[in-house]
Structure 1
């Protein structure tokens, strides 16, 4: 096929649409969406039905880092500080000590059973040491299963914060193998510098972004998501240039932004949720295209041994040691161990030694790909069963939707308008029935200090209230705002 812009657009759109349509069926069947996206990429590749030849690890790495940046940002943006605060200790311990223990144990095992040197084994361990909880919650939502206690926020925190540690270990070990006279002792100051700059820089830049969004007052509301897209990319780049860990910086900044008071926050969260899905699809399909199944087949034996060791020994070992000083029951630790899915991130990290020209890097890449496939196929498909077997599952059938999320037909003539009352509002203390409201206008919801009130005529309005008002016409909107003094 001749490479033209039209052909590229056509093939890209077909793969994207096929992935989205197929994910609906896969979700209902309990098939991990990650596995589906990777499968579509493999089928479209040079050794699949599509016959698309793709062998560019540099482009794959760039797309992977870009995708991971926005995925982490979206995850942090929608994470409430109140939910992760109680699990901050165990979550961060898992994402640091747990990752380190997993990398060490896998590295020693690979070195013991194969011709890999100790450093090469540790590099493989570092690459597969981080988890992908996004796939976990996709399966749990598909099966309408929740988790008891604080397991869910703790797993969310771990998944969002363990990639920086795995990234650091991967880059560090790749540097030791590729650069002469570079040793483990050189990594220690780099580690503390990266984490300190990443964490502090992410928080400060996150707060600065909140102030910027609140004060910039763009002419068109649709520009806010576009502006934020640019800010996120700049955020990663600035922290990386400063010597910090860009992934950690992006996640911490997203937490600061998501838990701050910011205009258009709900619409931005929705927008970045869509961006994160797009990035996941692009990343998984690209990784699927990069893999040559014929090169994976020769390493299936070693890959299976490493995968089983990772699932049944390394991950549980890391979890039980990391959580030894926290009050978690055995069944909680067993489930957390089983949740240690390996997603697309290890495959992206496996491109670093590939690009650096490390000996056996191609074998490492193919083994990592096989480990990801087996991890997702075995663990993701049995998550709901494991949660039920350990008596940790609770019904999660209630789907909460914001009133503004309702899809209204084109024939719907009313409008839902959000109005913010000033802190020094003239109607502070007045009851709703005392206001000169049009008869066809109705205050349907009040947001007061993040608590929602269903109002009636006797409800008193307070300065700072956010009102959701249903009304008929634009002229009516002007009268309502005049009545409210806004």
Structure 2
């Protein structure tokens, strides 16, 4: 019992220390996952903690379960609508992109590090895929809001590229250990089994689990446990069948998160917390495996290898995948930059050690150095790169709280709360009638002023500090946030700089606009409205933030309803 208490005390102390350190890293702009990894290294046998830990099978098992939880939470928060703009590029990056990155990295490792070709290609396969934990953490909690095409592509890629990396690693290990000499047909069959079983198992399992959650009446606190237990069961079952459990659990979360589900906000909230716990525990444990003194002699070549992966291999792979899909140069540069490596390469690097491959510990150390460099350099500069590449779109204040409504059919409506900010557009407005209610997408229910709760008509005009409660659809939240939320001058100025000072309806006639601002259009475009012109020039589905330039005029997509462009910003170049 005393030994159990000791390890529980030590583990909880390390977790608490890493979590509290996040306040420092947030100010410095460092990724939080880097802190967990660093605390694990300091607690190891070469640091002040002096903890002796070299149990690679345990780290492998914990890493797999933690990644499964992270992917399930990521799938729950991914909107199915984003697949219309991100599915093709994400799948291309998750398959072709991983192979190209792994091949180029392997060839460079053979030249730079003098590794045998099979060892070099194995190292390339280990570091060839991006990491879901790192990407989700940095994009969703890094203080940057990307346009939907870029953000969804990166998230779906990181959730779907593990099968290809695992397939490459296992295939190369089977050759190196002499277990088999796979031919092209058998390799293709294994690849199809990984993806096929993973996709079918995940979609079917997610549908069945969402039906079960909707059918049974449980206490609200039990629904997250139902989703977690069901998701891990899908993960284990698909793995046992020879498919990709990682792909399956991500797709299961995607299906569950986009179907009507009781207590959906409780499920997402608890799974979000569990995902953070899984990331913290996994990176702490993986940090314990590393001996810094063992890394130092090879740090130079390892960092050179990491630089090649970041600045040459990943950009080439991304360009090959995204140029045919009409991504512009800035988007390609940013997607190349956010090729974050994290727990996945470290977990994959335990495969050769457990298989008894000669020199496997050196491969593990190099992979760990790549992860450190990726989180420290790429992860830290993600917000800066988003601004430089112009893929960031203006953010809006989130509700103080939100709660989904239990209803048959689509679960679009939810209860949200906002605190009316000083100088917000909604301050002094009539409580029951505001501009964002035009399309019936939101309805005020109550106003809490001090300790007095009143109906909107009783409250009359809103005051700063009022808490307003509304029933709202998901697509009305940006407008509500801008209307009631904190009216930061810096944020509003950035929004004006981004979208321009003028706002147009998507159905505004193009001819009148072209005459007014003297920009050229073709004869075939003379009958277009503004939205039709943007669609014709983009050659791809539009997202908020897309820009089309004509001489000294730039049109920017400002609002969408499904696939229809409803409002457009107009910016005049000065």
TM-score w.r.t. structure 2 length? 0.70
Shift of 1:5: 0.9
In structure 1, the residue matched to 2:392 is: 393
> 2:102, 2:339 → 1: CA distance?
13
Shift of 1:149: 5.4
In structure 1, the residue matched to 2:527 is: none
> 1:445, 1:421 → 2: CA distance?
20
Shift of 1:44: 0.6
Detail structure 1 runs of 4+ shifted over 4 Å in the superposition: 136-143, 417-423, 439-444, 447-454
TM-aligned CA distance change 1:358 to 1:419, over 3 Å: closer
Shift of 1:335: 1.1
Shift of 1:221: 2.8
> 2:197, 2:26 → 1: CA distance?
39
Show the 5 A alignment for 1:433-448. 444-446=469-471
Shift of 1:137: 5.9
SS state at 1:180 partner: coil
In structure 1, the residue matched to 2:205 is: 205
In structure 1, the residue matched to 2:170 is: 171
Shift of 1:298: 2.1
Deviations 1:269-302 (A, max 9, x none): 1110001000000000000001111211122132
SS state at 1:129 partner: coil
Shift of 1:249: 0.7
Deviations 1:81-114 (A, max 9, x none): 1123211111110111101100111111112233
Work out whether residues 119 and 177 of structure 1, in 8 Å CA contact, stay in contact via their aligned partners in 2. Answer: yes
Work out whether residues 27 and 142 of structure 1, in 8 Å CA contact, stay in contact via their aligned partners in 2. Answer: no
In structure 2, the residue matched to 1:217 is: 217
Work out whether residues 35 and 377 of structure 1, in 8 Å CA contact, stay in contact via their aligned partners in 2. Answer: yes
Shift of 1:193: 1.3
Shift of 1:54: 0.6
> 2:472, 2:379 → 1: CA distance?
38
TM-aligned CA distance change 1:198 to 1:236, over 3 Å: same
Shift of 1:143: 6.3
Shift of 1:448: 6.9
In structure 2, the residue matched to 1:192 is: 192
Show the 5 A alignment for 1:368-379. 368-379=367-378
Work out whether residues 71 and 132 of structure 2, in 8 Å CA contact, stay in contact via their aligned partners in 1. Answer: no
TM-aligned CA distance change 1:215 to 1:340, over 3 Å: same
Work out whether residues 75 and 254 of structure 2, in 8 Å CA contact, stay in contact via their aligned partners in 1. Answer: yes
> 2:314, 2:24 → 1: CA distance?
31
In structure 2, the residue matched to 1:481 is: none
Runs (5+) with no aligned partner, structure 1: 406-416, 424-431, 433-438, 455-486
Deviations 1:319-374 (A, max 9, x none): 01111211111121111111111111100110011111111111000010011111
Deviations 1:66-87 (A, max 9, x none): 0000000100111001123211
SS state at 1:261 partner: coil
SS state at 1:358 partner: coil
Higher relative contact order (CA 8 A, sep 6+): 1
Matched, 1:278 2:270: no
In structure 1, the residue matched to 2:262 is: 263
> 1:124, 1:3 → 2: CA distance?
41
Matched, 1:74 2:85: no
In structure 1, the residue matched to 2:26 is: 27
> 1:442, 1:419 → 2: CA distance?
23
Runs (5+) with no aligned partner, structure 2: 411-442, 444-451, 457-468, 481-574
In structure 2, the residue matched to 1:10 is: 9
SS state at 1:394 partner: coil
Shift of 1:132: 2.9
Shift of 1:142: 6.4
Work out whether residues 133 and 155 of structure 1, in 8 Å CA contact, stay in contact via their aligned partners in 2. Answer: no
Work out whether residues 176 and 184 of structure 1, in 8 Å CA contact, stay in contact via their aligned partners in 2. Answer: no
Work out whether residues 100 and 317 of structure 2, in 8 Å CA contact, stay in contact via their aligned partners in 1. Answer: yes
Deviations 1:427-464 (A, max 9, x none): xxxxx9xxxxxx9786954457987899xxxxxxxxxx
